[in-house]
Amino acid sequence: MNLVILDRDGVINYDSDEYIKSPDEWVPIPGSLEAIARLTREGYRVVVATNQSGVARGLFDTDTLNRIHRKMLQAVRNKGGEIDGVFFCPHGPDDRCRCRKPRAGLFEEIAERLKGNLIGVYAVGDSERDIIAARDVMAQPVLVKTGKGKRTLKSSGHLRDVPVYDDLAQFVDALLTESVRAS
């Protein structure tokens, strides 16, 4: 399946320890929108899988989250790209839901919705929980150093055979030249 799964905060847009709580706070990482557009032009489907516990924490509501996502989708379209779906977990860390990464529920929902498995599908994230969730469905995790990526590199014990890139644009360059490499 020509599919790439992306985490949102720290991969597509700048992350914040204070959460992205409004469309104004959503700011793309340089090169990320263009990278998604390149994937689109090359025939890849792109979906987003993102934890959004700010909803459960009462920092923003689902309507605000939808407005943030509409801004992201429009920004990607303005660069000639397309995101085929945004899958999000609105729960907090103590809710014991199945969809919050590192659990694989969001990935399973993607597979069900797209009527396929995720074996070998690249899943790009910046945290250990992204890596663990991808591995649970046999997707191929990729780590970017943006967002929490540098911190993850220093602290994670789950990075064996995980390709590492400076950012989403560098990963897409490698993917489209078929030189994705494990660290």
Active-site positions? 7, 9
pTM: 0.96
pLDDT at residue 158, rounded to an integer: 77
Task: Give the phi and the psi of residue 167 in degrees, each rounded to 5.
Answer: -160, 180
Answer for the pair 167, 146: CB distance below 8 angstroms, yes or no: yes
Q: In order of start, what are the domains of the chain with their CATH numbers?
A: 3-176 (3.40.50.1000)
Q: What pLDDT sits at residue 157? A: 81
Return the pLDDT at 87. Answer: 98
Amino acid of residue 32: S
Q: Provide block-wise average pLDDT over 10 residues at a time, the chain (183 residues).
A: 94 97 98 98 97 97 98 98 98 95 98 95 98 97 98 89 97 90 55
The angle that helices 128-136 and 105-114 make with each other, rounded to 10 degrees, is 50
